[in-house]
Amino acid sequence: MEAPPDSDRDAPGEDAVLDSAAFRAGRWILGGLAAAYALTTLLPSDAKPGWVDTWFYGVVIMAVTLAGLVRPVVVRRNRLPWLLLALATISWALGDQYWSIMSADADDIPVPSPADVGYVGLYPLAYVGLILLAGSVLRQVP
């Protein structure tokens, strides 16, 4: 079966950066950091240093979510849906970082807080991004 013609495919070599050695290395580094943090969650809380769940977690989450901007910046195809999905995860990460810094050790946690704006911001951005992405894929189905 022949693939349908697709007018919104990338220009030749447009997404070559996604296949580059630097991009692959970055993916491995970010994946390694995320896996390292995931493994620390298996440790009893009294066995791990306090900075793991605060600063290390914050750096990993922000690095991984900001890395999501690479695709919409370098590849033209489906740029808007991928940008919205990246912004959705960044919104959630910013809310989480705000909560971690301002409220994690507080006796009184304000509800709602500015962190909630970030958490809730994930949903509309992700929904619209997923709908647009699904629409672009469905246009290619014969």
User: What is the percentage of the chain residues whose pLDDT exceeds 70?
Assistant: 89
pLDDT of res. 86: 95
Considering Cα of 32, then 35, then 39, then 41, what sign does the dihedral take?
Answer: positive
Contact (CB, 8 A) for 8 and 77: yes
Q: Which residues contact 56 (CB under 8 A, 6 or more apart)?
A: 37, 40
More confident residue, 127 or 102: 127
What digits encode the pLDDT tens for the residues 52-75? 878 888 888 999 998 889 889 888
Q: What pLDDT, in 10s, does the model give residues 11-49? A: 556 667 778 888 889 889 999 998 988 888 888 877 778
57 to 86, 101, 114, 119: CA distances (angstroms) = 19, 12, 20, 17
Region 75-91: mean pLDDT is 93
What pTM value is reported for the model? 0.77
**Nearest alpha carbon to residue 51 among 37, 30, 34:** 37
